Structure 1
Amino acid sequence: MARKQSDYLAALLADEASVPSPLPASTEPAPPSPASVRVERSRGTTLLGRESALARLASGEVRQVTQLLLDPSRVKIWPGNARLYADLSEENCRELIDSIIAEGGQKVPAVVRRVEGDPDHDYEVIAGTRRHWSISWLRRNNYPDMLFVAQVATLDDEAAFRLADLENRARKDVSDLERARNYADALKAHYGNHLTRMAERLKLSKGWLSKMIKVAGIHDGIIAAFASPADIQLKPAYALAQALDDSEGAKAIYATANALALEQRDRRFSGRPALPAADVLKRLLDAPRAAREEARPEPYVYVSRYGRPALSVQSVSRQGVTIRLHAGSGADNATLIEALRDALDHLERQGQGLQR
């Protein structure tokens, strides 16, 4: 308990100082002794301190914190937290697990709130998901008496979200994608889709928050191309999210992502290292350009019997077809007419004929 809080509660519970009994009415009161002055002053100070403590308690400035030792199986994870509980593992919690063992238990309490109407759980974790997972793992692995240390808070959902967000901002092991999707959910659930209001409440830049919300919209089919969602960083992911706004480009990106996801899976099964995130991102961003180049028809060139170009198609557009007749090819008129017919047939097969 903080010192200030302890002092105020001590003052609140302090006994009143004793005072001397009143003198008989017929007796003139003696001048106050130094001791009685000190007692009276002490009494006044005690009353003032108690009044101040009551006022601070009533205002909510001072609140008593309840710290509990809980069975983690009776505590669930609040779904509004950014961290994905299913992604936690012994590997990524190893450092915390070792610290808890070395210190003989969990030293930093989590923050929980009570739940109602759930026969299986008494509390839910607002902040401290990794601590909950680690204690649960330890109880299953040779430390059955290990307990989950938590402080109980009374919070509505929006306040719970802000508290969890403040803790997670300092955590490097919460990925940008986890945080982005958490913000997107909160924007709808707590702020009525008002981005400005959310940014003000969280003390965040509106522009930065807007980028996070954009990244949150990247489909899971694209995310599967990466070895892990943790590989997705805000700046490059925002460029990818913008590229997906183009419908034609998005088709190419999705197709490339599917191929990359299969390649990543094959690498895992064969024990080979995963494709680096930078390589995956480059292939995804290059996909629209590569698709356009593949779709571009081969240029048509008719070569004369002397091995020199006689006729070529220069361009095809809605306005027409531009044909070039090359000087010095050695082709006569009959050959050029044959070349023109062949060029028109070629364009027709490519879906670029004049009749389209």
Structure 2
Amino acid sequence: MANFVRDILTTLSYEPEPAEALKAEGEELVRLDQRLAGFNQGAARRVALSIRPSDCSVWDGNPRDVPGLSYESCRSLIDSIAQEDGNRIPVLVRRSAPGADQPYELLVGSRRRFSVNWLNHNGRPEVRLNALVVEMSDEEAFRLADIENREREDITELDRARSYQRAVDRFYGGVQSRMAEALSLSNSQLSRLLSLALMPDDVVNAFATKAELRVRHSEVLTPLLRRPEQRLQVLAAASQIAEEQQRLAASGERMITAATVLTRLRSATRTDQPAGAETPIVVGGVQVGKVRLAKDGIALDVQVADDQNLDEMLTALGRVITETRALSAAA
């Protein structure tokens, strides 16, 4: 089973490639086999075929920003596929539900599908999209796409975070701990990504590109956005910065860096919290303690019940400590 994908592709006729390219291709094929094996995808459950890009719709659970794909962003892949008369690494599809407009649904391989489609409309109508048909549930498809996309530099943290936000209710019943376990993430890692997903559009637009808005930025901005007065101040500053970014982009000038954007957004707020003021720690709608700035750091007062979910407690503690630090830094 470990060599299923590679065996399929040996039947395709390609010109010899340099040793380094063949090595990279082999490594990627091995990784694909290993991932499919992890989802109980035996060889008997896979079918290899060549299809037209128009034969498959893109599954709506994929975290990639498909409309954002362009010739410029896929240029090297388009050139490679053109030289090889097809994509060496197959995309993954599954059969669509009865009555669907396309027979297949694309799970993994949006860039490869876009590239073949571009070639079909630009002088290479004979190029086909090499695909593997697999049997997967929505939740399995989401996990597989997430594994692959974590390795892709062109998947922004914001795209990934927003896909997680949609998935937590859709696949995991709104239970973050279930999702974190399924994706091999800690609860705190997932919480930070979900906070990033909630960044208002005004804040996102203040950054030169959405790729520049990172989890570390949301960790500073989230506590400010949770307080009504400071939220208004942040959003007003973000709108002004976004207008400046548009003018700079239109004139071809260097846009405002992410570090400067963050500094300006923080500077737009003021902290009215007096020294020693306490912030409640709430878990599941119940206050379990309080936190305050102390002389040499942060002081916590927490009461842990016998039946308290420790993962939820630790996540709440991490969040309130981060917020308190951010407010102290913004003061």
> Fold-level match, TM-score > 0.5?
yes
1:219 matched residue in structure 2: 200
Structure number with greater Rg is 1
1:228 corresponds, among 199, 209, 214, to: 209
Runs of 5+ unmatched residues, structure 2: 8-39, 273-331
- For 1:334-349, what aligned pairs fall within 5 Å after superposition? none
Write the letter of the residue equivalent to 2:178.
R
Q: Mapping of 1:121-136 within 5 angstroms?
A: 121-136=102-117
Q: Report the CA distance shift for 1:227/1:100 in structure 2 as closer, same or farther (over 3 A).
A: same
Secondary structure of 1:224's counterpart equals helix
Give the TM-score, by structure 1 length: 0.63
Equivalent of residue 161 in structure 2, options 175, 180, 190? 180
C-alpha distance in 2 between matches for 1:60 and 1:78: 19
Q: Tell me the equivalent position of 1:65.
A: 46
3-state DSSP of counterpart to 1:149 = strand
**CA displacement 1:112-160 (0-9 Å, x = unmatched):** 1111244531111111111111111111122121111111111111111
Is 1:243 aligned to 2:224, yes or no? yes
Divergent runs of 4+, >4 A: 1-7, 59-62
User: What count of residue pairs does the alignment treat as equivalent?
Assistant: 240
Aligned CA distance change for structure 1 residues 141 and 214 (closer, same or farther; 3 Å): same
C-alpha distance in structure 2 between counterparts of 1:92 and 1:5, whole Å? 27
* Contact 2:46–2:133 (CA under 8 A) maintained in structure 1: yes
What SS does the corresponding residue of 1:151 show, helix, strand or coil?
strand
The one-letter amino acid of 1:265's match is Q
CA RMSD of aligned residues (A): 2.3
* Structure 2 SS opposite 1:288: coil
Q: 1:161 to 1:5 in 2, by over 3 A?
A: closer
Q: Distance in 1 between matches of 2:6 and 2:53?
A: 29
8 Å Cα contact 1:75-1:122 kept in structure 2: yes
> Does the CA contact (< 8 Å) of 1:65 and 1:152 recur in 2?
yes
- Pick from 223, 229, 241 the counterpart of residue 260 of structure 1: 241
Structure 1 residue 161 displacement after superposition: 0.6
| Structure 2 CA distance for partners of 1:223 and 1:3, relative to 1, 3 Å | closer
The equivalent of 2:90 in structure 1 is: 109
Which residue of 38, 53, 57 corresponds with 1:76? Answer: 57
What is aligned with 1:161?
Answer: 142
Report the AA paired with residue 258 of structure 1.
S
Alpha-carbon offset, residue 238 of structure 1: 2.3
**Corresponding position of 1:205:** 186
Structure 1 match to 2:254: 273
AA matched with 2:140: A
Structure 2 residue identity aligned to 1:93 = C
Cross-structure match for 2:122:
141
Q: CA deviation at 1:280?
A: 1.5
Three-state SS of the structure 2 residue aligned to 1:145 is coil
Identity percentage over the alignment? Answer: 39
Amino acid at match of 1:150: A
Map of 2:269 onto structure 1: 288
Structure 2 contact 61–142 (Cα < 8 Å) conserved: yes
Instruction: Provide the rounded CA distance (Å) in 1 between the counterparts of 2:100 and 2:88.
Output: 28
Secondary structure in 2 aligned to 1:275? coil
Letter in 1 for 2:268: A
Which residue of the other structure, out of 53, 62, 69, is the alignment partner of 1:88? 69
Given the superposition, is the C-alpha separation of residues 5 and 88 from structure 1 closer, same or farther in structure 2, using an over 3 Å criterion? closer
Code of the aligned partner of 1:266: R
